[in-house]
Amino acid sequence: MPIATPEQYGKMLDAAQKGDYAYPAINITSLVTLNAALKGFADKKSDGIIQVSLGGGKFASGINVGNAAEGAIVLAEAAHYLADKYNILVALHTDHCQPDKVDSFLKPLIAATAKRRAAGKGNLFQSHMLDASELPLAENMKLSQELLKLCAEQEIILEVEAGVVGGEEDGVDHSDAPAEKLYTSPEDMLTVYEKLQGLGRYMFAATFGNVHGSYKPGAVKLRPEILRDGQQAVMKQYGKEAEFDLVFHGGSGTPMEQIRETLDYGVVKMNIDTDTQYSFTRPIVDHIMKNYDGVLKIDGEIGNKKTYDPRSYLAAAEKQTAQRMSAACDDLLSTGKTIFGKV
């Protein structure tokens, strides 16, 4: 049963926190990207997190339907079926849901899990992300409290964010975010703990200069010590058990030493999206350029069915994306650490 139960997911996060490693979390949009994620994790004997964004769900539902929640349900149900063929544990998660999308995306998905549980099945999704970072912290926490209680009723973990991840991803643009919003203060981290403690299990995307998108090394100025200082402030006041399960967004182009440093400060999940988008597209472009006369019917010719068959290049895209996910397992030190069969 490789889609983790709520208990297994909790133990996955506990193991990562205790062992100073993190799980790669890949955004998927299709069966091809889903299979790539499963292969990448399985090849490295690593557990992992597969997530669906609003844009990914909308895309998966098809042009005529265009419904993010419906597409997310389709991908999640497919994951439940396909993941059963692997000897690793996988958790399903949804990425960046803004406050104005809660009623059309998060709540229908929470309801879908409730319906599944009532039928004696496991959770559809094991965790969801509320990105209310656009709101003042007090309003952010009020909405986070409401959703955390709703999630806890179904044994779902909620990911929350305080501070803004810069750049643009999946149609959400924070390129003009003020510099101070890119860094979560220790005071804000204390507020998050005090407002959410005891309501249910959650993960926390604290920001430390993260920026979505693809950048050359050195272009993004991360300050991992912000995570250290915030964790220390919370644990000094409330004890070791108050340590956050932190999430790292916007890591493209991050030097390896900084990635590894964040693991020491409690990061248990790192989103991988921009890099896997490129790893998916790169072999398709290579195929098209090398087989130009075959994939196109040029000057009245008939082309080559073997090269314009989508399977010929999508298989290459799946393989390359799986390799990128395997590299992420190595980077985040989750390789060989599956707890499948142990819990």
The residues spanned by each domain of the chain are 6-331
Of 253 and 136, the structure prediction assigns the larger pLDDT to: 136
Q: Which two tokens stand for residue 34?
A: 């889903």
Distance of CA 90 to the CA centre of its chain: 12
DSSP 111-178: HHHHHHHHTTPPPS-SEEEE--TTS-HHHHHHHHHHHHHHHHTTT-EEEEEES--BEEETTEEETT--
With residue 24 as reference, give the H or E element that holds it: strand 23-27
CA distance 69 to 71: 5
CA distance 212 to 201: 26
pLDDT greater than 80 at residue 217: no
Are the C-beta atoms of residues 227 and 208 closer than 8 Å to each other? Answer: yes
pLDDT tier at 253, thresholds 50, 70, 90: confident
Q: Which residues are within 8 A (CB) of 102 and not within 5 positions of it... i.e. 6 or more apart?
A: 130, 143, 147
Burial 266-295 (b: 16+ CB within 10 A, else e): bbbbbbbbbbbbebbeebbeebeeebeebb
pLDDT greater than 50 at residue 265: yes
Q: Check if 286 is active-site.
A: no
Are the C-beta atoms of residues 281 and 317 closer than 8 Å to each other? Answer: yes
pLDDT greater than 60 at residue 48: yes
What Rg, from alpha-carbon coordinates, does the chain have?
20
Report the pLDDT averaged over residues 275-304: 96
Report the pLDDT averaged over residues 226-252: 94
Of 223 and 38, the structure prediction assigns the larger pLDDT to: 38
pLDDT tier at 211, thresholds 50, 70, 90: low
Instruction: Please pick, among 95, 188, 245, 275, the residue that the annotation labels catalytic.
Output: 95
Return the minimum-mean-pLDDT range out of 66-70, 270-274, 321-325, 336-340. 270-274
- pLDDT the model gives residue 111: 98
pLDDT tier at 234, thresholds 50, 70, 90: very high
How much of the chain exceeds pLDDT 90, in percent?
Answer: 83
- pLDDT the model gives residue 219: 53
- pLDDT the model gives residue 309: 98
Return the minimum-mean-pLDDT range out of 121-125, 208-212, 228-232. 208-212
Sign of torsion over alpha carbons 69, 75, 81, 87: negative
- pLDDT the model gives residue 254: 81
Mean pLDDT of the chain: 92
Q: What is the pLDDT of residues 236-246, one digit of tens each?
A: 999 999 999 99
- Name which of 152, 103, 165, 159 is nearest 123 in CA terms: 152
| CATH (one of 3.40.190.10, 3.20.20.70, 3.30.56.10, 3.10.310.10) for 6-331 | 3.20.20.70
pLDDT tier at 324, thresholds 50, 70, 90: very high
pLDDT greater than 60 at residue 163: yes
Burial classification of residue 187, based on how many CB atoms lie within 10 Å of its CB (0-12 exposed, 13-18 middle, 19 or more buried) = exposed
pLDDT tier at 183, thresholds 50, 70, 90: confident
- pLDDT the model gives residue 157: 98
pLDDT greater than 60 at residue 261: yes
- pLDDT the model gives residue 179: 55
Report the pLDDT averaged over residues 256-272: 95
With residue 81 as reference, give the H or E element that holds it: helix 68-82
Q: Which two tokens stand for residue 313?
A: 């290049």
Q: What is the pLDDT of residues 68-98, one digit of tens each?
A: 999 999 999 999 999 999 999 999 999 999 9
CA distance 334 to 24: 8
